């Protein structure tokens, strides 16, 4: 009977993937899992934690935390076994490497698992699919234990200041890479329609260009509030927006045209052009754009080396392209950067060979594989002609609810 009980106990353990968990000696120890909370544009606690296979936990506090510097403590055997088994059960290899990449100014939570199948890195801001939230909560408890810490390397006040400054630089370069995520433009009509455009960058910077009948003329810049940025990104990344046709109402000549484009992390764009036909998601974006255009807090941006804005061109490059190197490759056009309009330098104003026609220069630049968008420096980007676009559909396929709205001529 006793042997029978032992047999069934072993069988149940095998079925449940039970196995002994051995903690390594300090000499053999390697990293089991790393956990980190990034800096942000606010007061987010910024730290990094490594849990080693001998049970030691090494904490490095970088910014807005009580423990600045390096601290250490050791997990009990039971704590280590529970964490190890939870990591194996979670199957972290099933998750994507990045979640919420389009959200700016959000703290990044990183989990790096050093498992038997290799290193698995996961970065997220607000999405926690499956049992990832359970793993994050466990690692959070390990990281924020109140007692048993031993100080290893605590910086002085001067060192602490330097560390914070370095962290501030890190958040701009690594955690919050700046790129264009959305563009919007309103074209002209036979009436007094406001004609303007703007580009939204991933750090919430918005570059506005007003031409005619707009609240302001010229190039302006400001920061969107986090609430407005996230509301716009929610609309631009929604299934309703993705389901729209590329163009509507292109056979209507008199109505004002609205063009809106979302750029994902790889630079791929989802663009919609419409005049009278306006699905609910498009109408919401238009209303938000009107509020943005009329809002306060804009700072005017003038070209320092060019007094005539009609002789300039706005260029938006892919996030990975170096602007100066790209401009150097256009020597035949005599391009010269007169002002950077984005923190990472991929959105800027240039002058060109005065002997050349601006429209021809712009058309050549548009054909460049590294260019996302080109527009005149003194006016918003205009949609290209009807060539190559299909006639707009009125939504009869049921992709989105369509409403006929005549505001386009106002």
Q: What is the mean pLDDT of each run of 10 residues along the chain (410 residues)?
A: 50 52 86 90 85 93 89 93 93 89 74 90 88 92 89 67 40 52 88 88 87 86 88 90 91 87 80 92 93 88 56 84 88 88 76 90 90 74 36 37 37
Residue 2 lies in a domain: no
For residues 318 and 376, state if they share a domain: yes
**Does residue 271 fall inside a structural domain?**
yes
Q: Over the stretch 2-36, which tens digit does the pLDDT of each residue have? A: 555 444 454 445 444 455 788 888 888 899 999 99
Cβ within 8 Å of residue 184, ≥6 positions away: 197, 198, 200, 258, 259, 260, 261, 285, 289
Q: Is residue 5 part of a domain?
A: no
Note whether residue 197 is domain-resident: yes
pLDDT tens figures, 58-111: 999 988 888 899 999 999 999 999 999 999 999 999 998 888 766 656 788 999
Domain contains 3: no
Q: Identify whether 83 is part of a domain.
A: yes
- Do residue 214 and residue 166 come from a single domain? no
* Domain total in the chain: 2
**Final residue in a domain of this structure, among 141, 174, 207:** 174
| Residue 193 shares a structural domain with residue 289 | yes
Question: Same structural domain for residues 206 and 340?
Answer: yes
Q: Which domain holds residue 50?
A: 16-174
Residues 163 and 270 in one domain: no
Q: What is the CATH number of the domain that holds 51?
A: 3.30.1560
Residue 188 lies in a domain: yes
**Same domain flag for 103 and 134:** yes
Please answer whether residues 281 and 240 qualify as being in contact, where contact means their C-beta atoms are separated by less than 8 angstroms: yes
Q: Note whether residue 212 is domain-resident.
A: yes
């Amino acid at each position: 009977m006793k042997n029978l009980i032992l047999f069934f106990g072993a069988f149940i353990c095998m079925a449940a993937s039970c196995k002994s968990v051995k903690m390594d000696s300090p000499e053999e120890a390697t990293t089991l899992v790393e956990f980190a909370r990034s800096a942000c544009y606010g007061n987010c606690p910024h730290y990094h934690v490594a849990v080693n296979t001998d049970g030691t936990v090494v904490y490095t506090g970088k910014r807005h935390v009580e423990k600045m510097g390096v601290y250490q403590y050791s997990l009990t055997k039971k704590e280590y076994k529970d964490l190890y088994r939870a990591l194996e059960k979670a199957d972290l290899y099933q998750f994507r490497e990045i979640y919420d990449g389009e959200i700016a100014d959000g703290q990044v939570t990183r989990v790096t698992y050093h498992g038997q199948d290799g290193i698995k890195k996961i970065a997220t801001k607000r999405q926690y699919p499956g049992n990832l939230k359970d793993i994050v909560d466990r690692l959070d408890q390990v990281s924020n234990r109140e007692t048993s810490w031993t100080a290893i390397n605590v910086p002085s006040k001067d060192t602490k200041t330097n560390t914070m400054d370095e962290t501030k630089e890190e958040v701009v370069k690594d955690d919050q890479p700046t790129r264009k995520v959305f563009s919007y433009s309103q074209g002209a009509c036979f009436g007094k329609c406001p004609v303007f455009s703007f580009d939204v960058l991933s750090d919430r910077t918005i570059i506005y260009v007003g031409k005619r009948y707009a609240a302001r003329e010229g190039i302006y810049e400001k920061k969107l509030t986090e609430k407005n940025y996230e509301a716009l990104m929610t609309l631009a990344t929604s299934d309703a927006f993705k389901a729209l046709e590329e163009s509507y109402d292109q056979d209507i000549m008199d109505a004002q045209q609205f063009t809106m484009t979302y750029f994902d992390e790889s630079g791929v764009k989802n663009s919609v052009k419409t005049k009278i036909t306006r699905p609910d998601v498009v109408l919401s974006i238009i209303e938000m754009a009107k509020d943005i255009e009329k809002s306060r807090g804009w700072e005017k941006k003038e070209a320092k080396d060019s007094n005539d804005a009609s002789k300039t061109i706005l260029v938006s490059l892919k996030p990975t392209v170096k602007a100066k190197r790209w401009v150097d490759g256009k020597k035949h056009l005599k391009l010269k950067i007169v002002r950077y309009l984005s923190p990472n330098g991929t959105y800027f104003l240039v002058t060109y060979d005065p002997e050349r026609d601006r429209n021809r220069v712009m058309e050549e630049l548009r054909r460049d594989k590294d260019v996302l968008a080109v527009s005149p420096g003194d006016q918003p980007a205009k949609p290209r002609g009807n060539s190559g676009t299909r006639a707009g559909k009125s939504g009869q396929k049921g992709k989105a609810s369509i409403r006929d709205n005549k505001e386009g001529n106002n």
